[in-house]
Amino acid sequence: MAPLRNVIFPAALILSALFLLLTLRHSAMTRTEPKPRFVFVDLGANRADSMEAFLKISNSKFQFDYPRPAWAKHEDAEIFLFEANPVFNTDLVKAKDKYTARGIKVNIFPSTVVDVQDGIRTFFLDTVNKDHDFWGSSIYAEHWDAVASGLKGTNLTSINLAGWLLRNFLPRDYVVIKMDIEGAEYEVVPHLAEMGAGIVVDQLLVEWHPSIMVGDEEQQKIRELKRQISTRKLMEEGVLMPAYDTPMA
């Protein structure tokens, strides 16, 4: 009986190995890759006007053809709205309520300053440009609209944008960012480049505000140099940065 056992045992091992190989092959063939996410991040969302333009709502305040990947429609995007000015809190809640009811994924960050660190930041409210939705509100006390408004500062939650992007998205996702933050882009964009956040950003549409003068002439030169260096670095990493200005209503 010993010779028979010697034959049966190796045969059983071979059959077990073949079964395991076939199981692994089937698992590999049926495994699906995680689906990439399409994301629109609106920094300076105001009353959610840019979101409505992004979604191509026919009666939106303005029209603009925001980019999208070939494999998704605008309404497929996960939308994140950041706005610092507390006057728009109610509008953002209403916009979320309205569009989530239509199946759109909308996340809001009201009274939140886009920054280079998490914490608290003083935000100066524009109270004089009512016809333009108080567009001069800024983190800078030097902003002319903040000065004209009597430097009405309020302390708000600030968020490290680079860290938030890196924690929430992956390179396979398609992330479009619109940035209109009244001069703070000169701090935030260099920080994105420094932190390597470009790895999770596909398109970055920045409205630059060079006329918002912060610091003396030498500081202005350094500010502009950092803008150029960071922009070049992000673009070399594959981030598309087309010229952008929020269309006037």
**How big is the CA angle at 18 (ends 16 and 21), to the nearest 5 degrees?**
110
Strands of the chain, DSSP E:
38-43, 78-83, 105-110, 112-115, 119-125, 152-160, 174-179, 203-206
Quickly tell me which residue has 């003083």 as its tokens. Answer: 122
Q: Which of 32, 28, 48 is nearest to 40 (CA)?
A: 48
Say if residues 45 and 83 touch (Cβ distance below 8 Å): yes
Q: Cβ of 149: how many Cβ atoms within 10 Å?
A: 19
Residue 129: Cβ-neighbour burial (10 angstroms; 0-12, 13-18, 19+): middle
Per-residue pLDDT of the chain (249 residues; tens, 9 = 90+): 555 455 555 555 565 655 655 555 555 445 677 899 999 999 999 999 999 999 999 989 889 999 999 999 999 999 999 999 999 999 999 999 999 999 999 999 999 999 999 999 999 998 888 877 787 788 888 887 888 888 888 999 999 999 999 999 999 999 999 999 999 999 999 999 999 999 999 999 999 999 886 778 898 999 999 999 999 999 999 999 999 997 765
Q: What is the pTM of this model?
A: 0.84
